[in-house]
């Protein structure tokens, strides 16, 4: 099982469990996570959702082999089902991040209500280095959180950043020791067992409503450009370089 799910004490946990591949996400894994979030959203006993990875790795992002074999195709692609499920979940979603959170491993955090990161966390959005563009509304939300200058460092240069920096710029709530972050996140999730559930849901909707349509529109626009970029010569060079374990050579492109 590469995605493990359980419901314990009102918390639906979704564990990314593919450590031998650095928790790289396949289409099947996206589908499983989407299904788990949707099930949690409608389960009366669930008051919150907890997403976490393995010790030392949250997720390294898309599995490029699976990504190339099964490219995103249309709005029903599993990755978009996952995005819609996370966006549409009206219950609190808490993420616990240890180690690397690459690509969508970082952009999904923008849509969680609470994010706790370990002191070994390393976040990055290296889309441009793969000949691609930002996704999951990160081109909208990252500049809003960080300002355009620091967003350019993260989205154009793809500079990695620490858990402390994630807290500073508003992506995360707090930094904790790596061995404590998941348990702390679970304790926060369990606090919703003592709160009025419909009041929580309505409050979350109110907080998200002013920008909800803009976020959806941004995701759609990003996806169209992202899909076109996947077929671009720059992306092909980047993917070949990845598999050949070398640096991509973009010098021939204008």
pLDDT digits (tens, 9 = 90+) for 235-246: 999 999 999 999
Q: Is the pLDDT of residue 201 over 80?
A: yes
Q: What is the pTM of this model?
A: 0.97
Distance CA 213, CA 8 (A): 33
Terminal alpha carbon distance of the chain: 44
User: What is the overall mean pLDDT for the chain?
Assistant: 96
pLDDT digits (tens, 9 = 90+) for 65-103: 888 887 776 788 999 999 999 999 999 999 999 999 999
Which pLDDT score is estimated for 33? 98
Distance CA 39, CA 218 (A): 26
């Amino acid at each position: 099982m590469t995605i493990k799910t359980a419901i314990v004490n009102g918390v639906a946990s979704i564990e990314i469990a593919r450590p031998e591949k650095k928790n790289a996400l396949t289409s099947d894994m996206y589908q499983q996570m989407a299904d788990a979030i949707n099930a949690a959203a409608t389960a009366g006993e669930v008051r919150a959702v907890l997403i976490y990875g393995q010790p030392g790795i949250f997720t390294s992002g898309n599995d490029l082999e699976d990504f190339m074999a099964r490219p995103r195709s249309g709005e029903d692609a599993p990755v978009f089902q996952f995005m819609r499920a996370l966006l549409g979940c009206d219950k609190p979603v808490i993420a616990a991040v240890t180690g690397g959170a690459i690509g969508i491993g970082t952009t999904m955090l923008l849509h969680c209500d609470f994010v706790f990161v370990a002191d070994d966390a390393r976040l990055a959005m290296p889309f441009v280095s793969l000949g691609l563009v930002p996704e999951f509304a990160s081109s909208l939300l990252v500049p809003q959180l960080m300002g355009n200058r620091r967003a350019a460092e993260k989205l154009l240069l793809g500079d990695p950043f620490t858990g402390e920096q994630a807290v500073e710029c508003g992506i995360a709530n707090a930094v904790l020791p790596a061995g404590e972050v998941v348990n702390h996140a679970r304790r926060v999730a369990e606090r919703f067992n003592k709160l009025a559930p419909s009041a929580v849901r309505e409050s979350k909707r109110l907080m998200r409503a002013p920008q909800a349509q803009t976020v959806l529109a941004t995701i759609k626009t990003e996806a169209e450009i992202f899909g076109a970029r996947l077929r671009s010569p720059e992306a092909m060079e980047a993917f070949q370089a990845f598999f050949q374990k070398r640096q991509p050579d973009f010098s021939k492109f204008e």
